[in-house]
Amino acid sequence: MTTVRNHFSIAKAPALFCWYAYIDTVDCLADSLFEQEGITVRKVQEFENKVNYYTLVICKVLPWHREGFLKALDKLPDKMCLLGFRDYDEFCREYLDYSENWLVEKEMKSRERGKAGDNTLSPCLQ
């Protein structure tokens, strides 16, 4: 099994759900893996990449489905390779680093605006 970092966690309050961002295709290849694991993933927003076939998905997962969600995402790189998406690993490396940094900066700026005098900021990423 290929080890590819294809997702990251997003800290949100209140923590009724586990929030994640992951890389998928516009055809939603990960959905069948989630179904195999018997979990429900609620997609909040998708950001399509105009250059290629991939999309960044922001989603929320029930805490008791977290393990199955991560297990499904571990299988996703192999499925991508089998279906001919040979650049998936490289795309994940480049795009997730950029996206994660952008989301962290955006979250920190919004917290600074909302709580100018509060020094009890929790980290953005888990």
Residue 63 has pLDDT above 50, yes or no: yes
For 38-50, the pLDDT digits (tens) are: 999 999 999 887 7
Top pLDDT among 93 and 117 is at 93
| Residue 75 · residue 33 · CB < 8 Å | yes
Task: Give me the domains of the chain, ranges plus CATH numbers.
Answer: 7-107 (3.30.70)
Of 12-16, 44-48, 62-66, the range with the lowest mean pLDDT is 12-16
Per-residue pLDDT band at 123 (split at 50, 70, 90)? very low
Q: Cα angle vertex 70, ends 126, 80, to 5°?
A: 120
- This prediction has a pTM of 0.75
List, in sequence order, every beta strand (DSSP E) within 1-126: 7-10, 18-25, 41-48, 54-61
Mean pLDDT within 8-32: 87
